[in-house]
Structure 1
Amino acid sequence: MPTMIFVNLPVSDLARSRVFFEALGYSINEGFSDENAISVVISETITAMMLTREFFAEFTSKSIIDATTSTEVQLALSAESKGDVDSIVEQAIASGATPAGEQDHGFMYSKSFDDLDGHHWDFVWMDPEAAAGGAPEMTVEEMRANTTHS
């Protein structure tokens, strides 16, 4: 059985989050969803659990950040093509997300958005040859020159 990942994120409005993630084409696992959480199925091995802030707090003794003003994690998901990157990010923005930058290094292409609660999502396509053989040599300055932030 492959390792699975369950990303848990605090949200302010479960119903709004459900509509947003369904608009991106993801399904909701109703068996693990209730008034405290929704289970967003991203793939066979990736699930994002959107928890009310109150419910999320039951699982940690730490304070919960405001993701609209602070960043604790950037969630990056692979895409099959540059077109798929563009499509999912365009749909996210049309559904209320905020654009959060893009990168085009030729061998790697990504676009980012912040979801309705400020959580940062990156969608990335990498040339299969580059992925198999490693990234081409680029200086930090060259990478920064090909990066934009919204």
Structure 2
Amino acid sequence: MTKMIFISLPIADLKASIAFYQALGFEQNPQFSDDGGACMVWSEAIYVMLLTHAKWRTFTQRPLPPAESAGHMLSLSMDTRDAVDAMNRAAAAHGGQADVNPPEDHGFMYSRDLADPDGHVWAMVWMDSAPTDAAPQ
């Protein structure tokens, strides 16, 4: 069986959150979506469950994180530096926030962080997959 990850996020506005994640390239899986939540698919192995606060409460009674807090940062790999930049532009244009932390450019790795409408932080990361220790030919 393929190992998968399901990330559950409490959200305030389901329709706005669905639109935001679709703008970033996620696809909604209607089979696992209802009035209380939406399953958003990034890849065959990565799913994000957007849960209204009422639906979230059926999973845990722990308090919701305070606004402007960061209890985690989720990272997604991108194919190019331009794709990293495009995700930040899409976030800003669809109710999120671009560059919630300063961009990082280390030459072989480039990342920019964004936040969704509820403040959940995502790092979009590109890394050069070319070997750095290859002998010149």
What TM-score do the two structures reach when normalised by structure 2? Answer: 0.89
Equivalenced residue count is 131
For 1:16, the equivalent position in structure 2 comes to: 16
Name the CA distance, whole Å, in 2 between partners of 1:88 and 1:56: 27
- Give 1:68-107 correspondences, 5 Å limit: 68-99=67-98, 100-101=100-101, 102-107=103-108
Deviation at 1:15, TM superposition (A): 0.7
Q: Which residue does the alignment assign to 1:50?
A: 50
Q: Which amino acid aligns with 2:73?
A: Q
Paired amino acid for 1:21: Y
Partners of 1:65 and 1:73 lie apart in 2 by 11
Once the two structures are TM-superposed, the CA of residue 25 in structure 1 deviates from its matched residue by 2.2
CA contact (8 A) 1:38 1:49 kept: yes
1:74 and 1:119 in contact (8 A); partners too: yes
Q: Which residue of 2 aligns with 1:115?
A: 116
Which residue number in structure 2 is paired with residue 38 of structure 1?
38
**Runs of 4+ deviating beyond 3 Å:** none
Q: CA RMSD in A?
A: 1.5
Q: Which residue identity is paired with 1:38?
A: A
Q: Alpha-carbon deviations, 1:30-66, whole Å to 9, x = none?
A: 0000011000011110000000012112211321113
TM-score when scaled to structure 1? 0.82
How far apart are residue 113 of structure 1 and its match?
0.7
1:13 CA displacement: 0.6
- Structure with bigger helix share is 1
Unmatched 5+ residue regions in structure 1?
Answer: 134-150
> Any unmatched runs of 5+ in structure 2?
none
CA contact (8 A) 1:23 1:91 kept: yes
Shift, 1:129, TM fit: 2.9
Residue type matched to 2:40 in 1?
V
- Assess if the C-alpha contact under 8 Å between 1:57 and 1:64 holds in 2: no
Percent sequence identity over aligned pairs: 39
Post-superposition Cα deviations, 1:52-107, rounded to whole Å, max 9, x if no partner, equal 012112211321113x3211110100001101111111111111211213110111
Q: Report the secondary structure of 1:3's partner residue.
A: coil
